[in-house]
Structure 1
Amino acid sequence: MLCAATTPVYAFAQDAAPAGEPAAASDVDYGNDIIVTASKRSQTLQDTPIAVSVTSAADIQNSAIRDLIDLQSAVPSLRVSQLQSSANTNFIIRGFGNGANNAGIEPSVGVFIDGVYRSRSAAQIGDLPNLERVEVLRGPQSTLFGKNASAGVISIVTQKPQFDFGGSAEVSYGNYDAITAKASITGPISETIAFSLAGNFNRRDGYAQDLNLDTDVNDRNRWGVRGQLLFEPTDALSIRLIGDYDKIDENCCIAGNVIAGPTIGITNALVGGPSVDANNPFSYNVYNNFLSSNEIENYGGSAQIDYDLGNLALTSITAYRKVQADTNQDSDFTSADLIGEKSDKVGIDTFTQEIRLTSDFDGPVNFLLGGYYFHEKVKQQSAIKFGDDFRDYGNALIQGASGGLLNVGVLEGALGAPSGSFFKVGTGLDEAYRMKNTAWSIFGTVDFEVTDRLTLSAGANYTQDRKRFSTDVVSSDAFSKVNLDAGAYAPFRNQLLFQGGVAAGVGQALGLNRAATAAEVNAFAGANPVAFGGIATAAQTNANNNQNNPAANPLNPLKAFQFLPDFFNLPNAFEPNRTRDNDLAWSLRAAYEVTDTVNVYATYATGFKASSVNLSRESRPLAADLAAIVAAGQATPNLTSGTRFATPEESEVYEIGLKGQWSVAALNLAVFKQSIKGFQSNVFNGTGFELVNAEKQSTFGIEFDGSVRPVQGLNLTLAVTYLDPKYDKFTNSSFGDISGTMPAGIPELTMAVGGTYTHEFAGGTRAIFHADYHYESPVQIVEGLNGFPPSVAQSLKREVNQLNASFTLALTNGLEVGVWGRNLTNAKYLTTVFPAVAQSGSVSGYPNQPRTYGVTGRFKF
């Protein structure tokens, strides 16, 4: 957390450090003396006029932070949530963020590892060996990073190879048979070449139980290797080569039943017992009919060249990344075999090139000038198929919706479909999507020292972004292909109108307050033939008058069960299949050194994120394009409007800040008003994701963090974030006009408080005790739920109270042993909730991780 870093850092991932400068120091507390590269220059945190939180390697080690999900417990302005697979993690800074669950959406929060942009969210930090620090930059960062990030940046920095031989090894064992191991070695190959080689292994049994499959789920199984070479042939030239490969093969992610709707009775009947744990969403007891799988490969390489030209420094970073994810999930989250397959195979190839020229003149003017190129290809193959139980499930739904008048077999006969074709096992959607994204930008900043204490800065970033995409989605769902309004079915609809009118009339005559059953109708007709004749005549007249009235179509309730209709694919003659975006983002900043220990700054900055593409089964023509398609007679059955893509995000922030550094304390304060026009909202509706733009979302906020060292060896930290977010205007959300409301999932108050006490014994042995507490005030988890009144979503709240602690004994021979625990109070809450898949009236949710603890042994040499 900001000001809580316990290890001063002197090696920079994005700026070459002078030869011979140490890579790390001791565990003494230095507060704002920590060196960061948030501004693309090596500066102390005190002198960096940017809202940035820094979590050092020591903090990560003491807090047992294993991945970016855990990092939020140290950075209050950051929120991270795990979604339906190990490859889907959503990052939110100051209440802004998106990008998970849809390969066509770049995140609003950019993740960089050693200066290389990671375009998708399957990024780990705890398994990265030789991690040096994590910088979280808050607010738009367009003028410092060539790849625009409209909400903020997470910059992960690892240590460079060293010319002194050394290394480390670490093994940890915890509950759920968790085993993590890391090892690294570094040293010289020659006087001008150094290397480092590292590997990691992370395995854990599942912390949840699948009571239907009788096995644990939500396990962890991942490993990786990483190698580096550092060439320093002269004092002026440094070349850093990095290659890495990591693999994930695990079962993830469970969803508990939050609200048990009327369909639960059907699924219970289908399996002859409980199909969900309907009483306790936090029990970590789930029911599935097959294990979900996540196989993810992530690999790539980069080359960073730093050349010292005296008063100028030239940096080039070239990188190629490949992510291959193959996932399959029992996405109905019941033990009934409703969804037999929900698979996604996604391949992402990314090439980036960045060049920067940075000045270091003695005069009042200095500058940074850069260019950035980004090229990416996305290929995705997906499928969603009906399972063995879906035909019986669909039959029950249709019977319930028609008051018992209809079933699947009757519909197949009446609509001319082959027997057994509706909801047939193995039918559904086969999906293929492609997207190519090319972007380039020119960016830079100029700093002008008006006086020794006052510096004015201006920056700009001009970006061009081009995306081209296509779809090839084929439906084999026979029922969804039927146009229930078609004229060919008019006689059948007329018959149903008549039958329904008779049943309603008899029910009214009998005072039942419902439609009469077939047996009740027959009995009434026999006992009251005259009255029955009148009811039948009225029913027939009503049926004749309404046989062509779409609103009176008795098959209308069945349209909700046409889950997977035919797709209207791109490219086509009516819609564009490309986006072209241009933007000029800019910033102005004034930084003033009030005293040698207090700095203040004021910033205005804009940011930009290009159009995002809806690469999902909810990708539908825009309303204007749909009208043209219908007019041309090219519409597929049940085609509705939606969004193929969302237009760009344009952000701006007004911010003032104060940074103070004293001998025993440090503090940082930021007050800001940040907004995004065109925020790209991505919401699950029960069968797919709807991508739409909010006209404007804004947040007023106050961020404070500080540290104090009241006695030798004790460092106390406090970080607090207050946010007041709202949708200034959001008229076309998935839940209607929600303008003026508070965005879901963004707590008003977030706090991280911690303490680290280090005691050194005679002889040099040290004992280190650390504890930290993370709090988030109660907040509505989701903006709305399709099919539910607003009050249901408003009743679903999340409050976070998490306690973490560790104790480490560091011996003088480089050996360390310790114990650690996360979420020690076993606090339980839901991270995300969503409508249950194809189960109207039910809600599912992802629970947080339970208490974990373990022991660690570490050796450094």
Structure 2
Amino acid sequence: MTLRFTRALLLGAASTLAVASAATAQDAPQDRRTVDVITVTAQQREQSAQDVPISIGAYDTQALNQSGVQDIKDLISIAPGLMVTSTQSETITTARIRGVGTVGDNFGLESSVGVYIDGVFRSRNGVGFGDLGELERIEVLRGPQGTLFGKNTSAGVLSITTQAPEFEWGGGAEAQLGDYGYRRLSGSITGPIFEDQLAFRLFAADAERDGYTDLIVGKGANAELTESETENYQTIRGQLLWTPSASVEGRIIADYSQRDEFCCSAVAYDYTPTAYALVRAVGGDVNYPADPDERIAYANRTYDQTVEDRGISAEFDIDMPIGTLTSVTAYRNWSNSRGQDVDYTSADISYRDPEHNFTDLSRLSQELRLNGNWGDLDWLVGGFYSHEDLELGDALQFGEDWEAFLSLAASNGTNPTFISDTLNAIALGFVPPFPALPGYTPQPAGSFFPAGSGPNQDLYNQTAVSWAVFTHNTYQFTDRFAITAGLRYTHETKNVVASFDTNSPLGCSLFETYGGFDPISTFAGTPLGGLVPSACLPYARSGLDANGYDQERSDEEVSGTLRATYDLTDDVMVFAGYSRGFKAGGFNLDRQLNGPIGPNGYTDPDTSFAPEIIDSYELGFKSQLFSNVLQLNATAYWQQVEDFQLNTFNGLAFVVESVDESETKGVEIDFAYATPIDGLDLSGGYAYVNSEYSEVNTGDPLVDAIEGKDYSLSPEHFLTGQVIYERPLFAGLMGSASLDARYVSEYNTGSDLDPEKVQEGFTLLNARLGIGPEEGPWSVDVWGRNLTDETYAQVAFDAFAQGRRGGAGTSNDPRATASYMAFLGAPRTWGVTVRTEW
């Protein structure tokens, strides 16, 4: 579908809708049910979603409750074009809109989709992952939102609004029970403290669930069966609504959450016999032949994950003679620690322990907006400031099987002592042209890569200071024609200081003795050239220990929007517009060995990457047809992306690069229909996304191989639908039934687009049946999610050190021995919800 054809289609549809609306408006029955109009704040003012000239998916309390949305990942069931995935832990969660998003495995890479909860930005998608509690609405704003929402909204925004305090007493309690031992208890209470001046709301929830995956931990007779992907969290949120006068209203929110869970294991997704033989040769195991449907995973240690998230915010609206002044002040702190079996087998190859792997993220922000009207001009000006401190600890260490495993891999599975034999021979001078090391004593097998060697501790301390000024204005030229224009200037400075303490294994330090701090380059082209990159992985090398990192970068950008709207009738509006989004550049918070080398190691490494810029052009319409019996909206877009920030795992380490040029284009359609059958409502949507990496010149063969290919995790077709039916039953009882479905076409889940990482198209089906008094205090729902029990990969990735593609190892090279693991989506689940309200 070309963009020209799409534009013609949209204009033709809008014209037809305008005629149909005009022809039928007078004939529509006056008592006919209509579609509720959702009020949104997509332009930082309260407006009907049908009046905002951008592509929006808006979901109210009923739609969210009936589809069981409790976190941002659940939202994909009703929001077309939205992808949300998790990988190594649920703290590493990534949202994508229109195909654009950033792999969340590296905290140096920020989000392309901004998550706002009650007007407060969560600086990484994983930081915004958690139980959202009582929801009023969620807005999915598609395309760049850089004018009003700032940096890191280059792909879009998820704007989440929770239930506010009320001046009338009320509350509720809810119990959910389900399979996999699922239990969630929650409750809330709201009411006045001082009549018409101060009200409160308190919400709390406690949940736990057994794991979705059978995890076999350990080897042989010592192996134990446990579960992975468990759930165990507690959350509490308290709010005050303060109206000290008729011109002042404030909402103060404090919240705290903690999670202590066992997540996330990966299953064998597409595994080769060569890789399986290597794992078995050191006494380990992995599910082979690979069968993700079995949901069986292996490890030699646990995947502990703990998270604490807390914050406080205050939003005040003050009516002034010239307009309304809004102040949003927020402080948030998010921390986690996690353990990980990096190889996802029961062999002890490599791991992270939770004591040395942690994140602590604090952020203070202040926003001021002044909004008013002057004749036909609706104007807004504002300013924004944030200060973020990030401390990241990392220590990826070798396990006790690594040396034997590497020896077998290097000798085609024939010699488990290949490393010790080779390095002893080199150090003794038996391998020309390497001279003997004075006083060297041959070392036994197992002493070249002992268990626990690698980093003692890598520490990254990053500070980011950002400020912006912005304006957003709409001028109504006539009753039907308006222009919206906005500009934002953003300035950000980032500084990262990192220290490295390496327990360098003898196996790599010998190569460094002969080849210096860059042994990979030194030995390239020699008979040992193929061995050194695996023996001297970044976390085995000592070249950063003496100097570490001390880097600073500043980015500034002008983003903005220009849009025109025209009301064809009172019920049909067409719009066209341009917007620019900006995601700040940053630093790869991982070991990256480059730059000049001095006598003590690398003296000036550069781990920076450029800002990501998106220019988007849109054409669409919004309509309320047949006296608002049907809402039908559509948008066509074309987006050009400059310096797309890509994070790719090559089976041994993460590679961060900027893709020069890429683009996405497509169509988004949303509808809501109040059927003639009383109580029956239909809604849904379709998204067509055509993406391509059009120009890739990084110099890294792994990344350059994606040129001309589609984005990862970007299906071409999304289709969603929701049916909600409510009707009286008997004895004053009301019954309800809902069904929502989501279909996505085939897509590649890997950043490097290896063909083995493709996920075939699939459909997810969720349903809910409920009963309760029509005006009564209780209800009971029976629900199920993923009713057809689809097994699908959220992300497939190269199994650590377990085979590789031929040649340079890119997706264009032969498969060779490359093997793959995957993080799976949730299986079929079901449960019962009992709710009472007063």
Question: What code does the residue aligned with 2:765 have?
Answer: L
Please say if 1:448 is aligned against 2:423: no
Q: Distance in 2 between matches of 1:783 and 1:611?
A: 19
Q: Deviations over 1:166-191 (max 9, x none)?
A: 01111110110101111100000012
Q: Distance in 2 between matches of 1:669 and 1:122?
A: 30
- Tell me how far 1:127 sits from its aligned partner: 2.7
Maintained 8 Å contact 1:32/1:661 = no
Question: What code does the residue aligned with 2:373 have?
Answer: D
Indicate how the Cα distance of structure 1 residues 802 and 643 shifts in structure 2: closer, same or farther if over 3 A, else same: farther
- Tell me how far 1:791 sits from its aligned partner: 5.0
Report which of the two has the higher share of strand.
2
Indicate how the Cα distance of structure 1 residues 601 and 359 shifts in structure 2: closer, same or farther if over 3 A, else same: same
- For the pair shown, which has the larger CA radius of gyration, 1 or 2? 1
Q: Deviations over 1:527-556 (max 9, x none)?
A: xxxxxxxxxxxxxxxxxxxxx996243464
Match of 2:315 among 290, 297, 304: 304
Maintained 8 Å contact 1:681/1:693 = yes
Match of 2:466 among 426, 439, 463: 439
Question: What code does the residue aligned with 1:72 have?
Answer: I
Please say if 1:720 is aligned against 2:686: yes
Indicate how the Cα distance of structure 1 residues 340 and 781 shifts in structure 2: closer, same or farther if over 3 A, else same: closer
Q: Distance in 2 between matches of 1:806 and 1:404?
A: 56
Indicate how the Cα distance of structure 1 residues 123 and 323 shifts in structure 2: closer, same or farther if over 3 A, else same: closer
Maintained 8 Å contact 1:471/1:570 = no
Maintained 8 Å contact 1:375/1:439 = yes
- Tell me how far 1:706 sits from its aligned partner: 0.8
- Tell me how far 1:783 sits from its aligned partner: 4.6
RMSD: 2.5
Match of 2:500 among 465, 469, 473: 473
Aligned to 1:756: 724
- Tell me how far 1:376 sits from its aligned partner: 0.3
- Tell me how far 1:200 sits from its aligned partner: 0.7
- Tell me how far 1:95 sits from its aligned partner: 0.4
Maintained 8 Å contact 2:423/2:510 = no
Match of 1:238 among 249, 270, 277: 249
Question: After the TM superposition, which of the residue ranges 413-422 and 375-384 deviates more from structure 2?
Answer: 413-422
Please say if 1:587 is aligned against 2:583: no
Indicate how the Cα distance of structure 1 residues 559 and 473 shifts in structure 2: closer, same or farther if over 3 A, else same: same
Maintained 8 Å contact 1:287/1:334 = yes
- Tell me how far 1:57 sits from its aligned partner: 1.9
Aligned to 2:779: 816
Aligned to 1:79: 83
Q: Deviations over 1:558-581 (max 9, x none)?
A: 4433223325449969x8711111
- Tell me how far 1:693 sits from its aligned partner: 0.4
- Tell me how far 1:487 sits from its aligned partner: 7.7
Aligned to 1:545: none
Aligned to 2:190: 186
Q: Distance in 2 between matches of 1:487 and 1:150?
A: 44
- Tell me how far 1:482 sits from its aligned partner: 3.0
Match of 1:254 among 256, 261, 265: 265
Q: Distance in 1 between matches of 2:68 and 2:229?
A: 19
Indicate how the Cα distance of structure 1 residues 115 and 551 shifts in structure 2: closer, same or farther if over 3 A, else same: same
Indicate how the Cα distance of structure 1 residues 124 and 824 shifts in structure 2: closer, same or farther if over 3 A, else same: farther
Aligned to 2:369: 356
Maintained 8 Å contact 2:146/2:581 = yes
Please say if 1:129 is aligned against 2:133: yes
Aligned to 1:620: 593
- Tell me how far 1:311 sits from its aligned partner: 5.0
Aligned to 2:824: 847
Aligned to 2:612: 649
Larger RCO (CA under 8 A, 6+ residues apart): 2
Indicate how the Cα distance of structure 1 residues 144 and 571 shifts in structure 2: closer, same or farther if over 3 A, else same: farther
Indicate how the Cα distance of structure 1 residues 668 and 426 shifts in structure 2: closer, same or farther if over 3 A, else same: same
Q: Distance in 2 between matches of 1:572 and 1:634?
A: 8
Identity among equivalent positions (%) equals 32
Q: Distance in 1 between matches of 2:33 and 2:833?
A: 23
Indicate how the Cα distance of structure 1 residues 743 and 29 shifts in structure 2: closer, same or farther if over 3 A, else same: farther
Indicate how the Cα distance of structure 1 residues 258 and 148 shifts in structure 2: closer, same or farther if over 3 A, else same: closer
Q: Distance in 2 between matches of 1:55 and 1:423?
A: 54
Maintained 8 Å contact 1:616/1:688 = no
Q: Distance in 1 between matches of 2:120 and 2:524?
A: 56
Maintained 8 Å contact 1:172/1:856 = yes
Aligned to 2:221: none
Indicate how the Cα distance of structure 1 residues 452 and 549 shifts in structure 2: closer, same or farther if over 3 A, else same: closer
The total of aligned residue pairs comes to 755
Structure 2 unaligned blocks of 5 or more? 1-31, 218-223, 428-439, 517-521, 804-817
Match of 2:381 among 355, 369, 372: 369
Give the TM-score taking structure 2 as reference length.
0.86
Q: Distance in 2 between matches of 1:568 and 1:255?
A: 32
Indicate how the Cα distance of structure 1 residues 620 and 81 shifts in structure 2: closer, same or farther if over 3 A, else same: same
Question: What code does the residue aligned with 2:64 have?
Answer: I
Maintained 8 Å contact 1:170/1:181 = yes
Q: Deviations over 1:212-235 (max 9, x none)?
A: 421122111111011011111111
Question: What code does the residue aligned with 1:669 have?
Answer: A
Maintained 8 Å contact 1:175/1:853 = yes
Q: Distance in 1 between matches of 2:605 and 2:657?
A: 8
Q: Where in structure 2 are the equivalents of 1:645-794 lying within 5 Å? A: 645-662=608-625, 663-711=628-676, 712-732=678-698, 734-761=702-729, 764-784=732-752, 792-793=756-757
- Tell me how far 1:277 sits from its aligned partner: 4.1
Q: Deviations over 1:254-300 (max 9, x none)?
A: 2111232423213223227x333433123111111121011000001
Maintained 8 Å contact 2:663/2:692 = yes
Indicate how the Cα distance of structure 1 residues 570 and 680 shifts in structure 2: closer, same or farther if over 3 A, else same: farther
- Tell me how far 1:124 sits from its aligned partner: 5.8
Q: Distance in 2 between matches of 1:125 and 1:275?
A: 30
Question: What code does the residue aligned with 2:486 have?
Answer: G
Indicate how the Cα distance of structure 1 residues 436 and 568 shifts in structure 2: closer, same or farther if over 3 A, else same: farther
Maintained 8 Å contact 2:333/2:362 = yes
Match of 2:169 among 165, 171, 174: 165
- Tell me how far 1:612 sits from its aligned partner: 2.0
Q: Where in structure 2 are the equivalents of 1:141-180 lying within 5 Å? A: 141-180=145-184
Indicate how the Cα distance of structure 1 residues 791 and 484 shifts in structure 2: closer, same or farther if over 3 A, else same: farther
- Tell me how far 1:664 sits from its aligned partner: 1.6
Q: Distance in 2 between matches of 1:172 and 1:346?
A: 32
- Tell me how far 1:43 sits from its aligned partner: 0.8
Aligned to 1:276: 287
Q: Distance in 2 between matches of 1:359 and 1:576?
A: 45
Q: Distance in 2 between matches of 1:379 and 1:560?
A: 28
Maintained 8 Å contact 1:471/1:569 = no
Aligned to 2:833: 856
Indicate how the Cα distance of structure 1 residues 342 and 332 shifts in structure 2: closer, same or farther if over 3 A, else same: farther
- Tell me how far 1:616 sits from its aligned partner: 1.3
Aligned to 2:4: none
Aligned to 2:578: 604
Question: After the TM superposition, which of the residue ranges 434-443 and 43-52 deviates more from structure 2?
Answer: 43-52
SS state at 1:661 partner: strand
Q: Deviations over 1:747-785 (max 9, x none)?
A: 110000121111134665321110011000112222537
SS state at 1:551 partner: coil
Q: Distance in 1 between matches of 2:157 and 2:688?
A: 20
Maintained 8 Å contact 1:440/1:464 = yes
Q: Distance in 2 between matches of 1:571 and 1:582?
A: 32
- Tell me how far 1:388 sits from its aligned partner: 2.5
Question: After the TM superposition, which of the residue ranges 404-413 and 702-711 deviates more from structure 2?
Answer: 404-413
- Tell me how far 1:444 sits from its aligned partner: 1.2
Q: Distance in 2 between matches of 1:806 and 1:744?
A: 32
Q: Distance in 1 between matches of 2:129 and 2:461?
A: 30
Give the TM-score taking structure 1 as reference length.
0.84
Q: Deviations over 1:44-91 (max 9, x none)?
A: 111111111112221121112232111111111110001111211001
Please say if 1:801 is aligned against 2:829: no
Q: Distance in 2 between matches of 1:236 and 1:568?
A: 62
Q: Distance in 2 between matches of 1:104 and 1:549?
A: 31
Maintained 8 Å contact 2:770/2:782 = yes
Maintained 8 Å contact 2:664/2:690 = yes
